[in-house]
Amino acid sequence: TPVLSQVAKSLNLYPKTTIDIIGHASTEGEAQHNLNLSYRRAESVRAYLVTKGVAANRLTAKGYGPDEPTATNDTADGRLANRRVELKRTN
């Protein structure tokens, strides 16, 4: 929450900046479930930022499921690292 609050403050200082909010998942479980889960992760971040005053039309939530891992899915630590949300500036 503290990180997202700071993100919201920064975005409110730069009202023309747009962001993709990208959710990710590990490979545990079924593929469709992980895709939906990753989207819900991104959407929850988007909803939080909106409650902090960021205009909803500046934020796009996307779920990539397990398709872009940053670590191996062969270990618990790797799977944990792959369960994440990233923010990418789009303009």
Integer angstrom CA distances of residue 51 from 13, 83, 88:
15, 23, 19
- Mean pLDDT of all residues in 21-47: 97
Write the DSSP symbol of residue 65: T
- CA atoms lying within 13 Å on the CB side of residue 60: 10
In this predicted structure, what is the pLDDT of residue 15?
96
Contact predicate 82/26, CB 8 Å: yes
Averaged pLDDT, 50-79: 98
User: What's the average model confidence in pLDDT over 51-64?
Assistant: 98
pLDDT at 24: 98
Decide: pTM greater than 0.85: yes
d(CA 63, CA 31): 12
- Report the mean per-residue pLDDT for the chain: 97
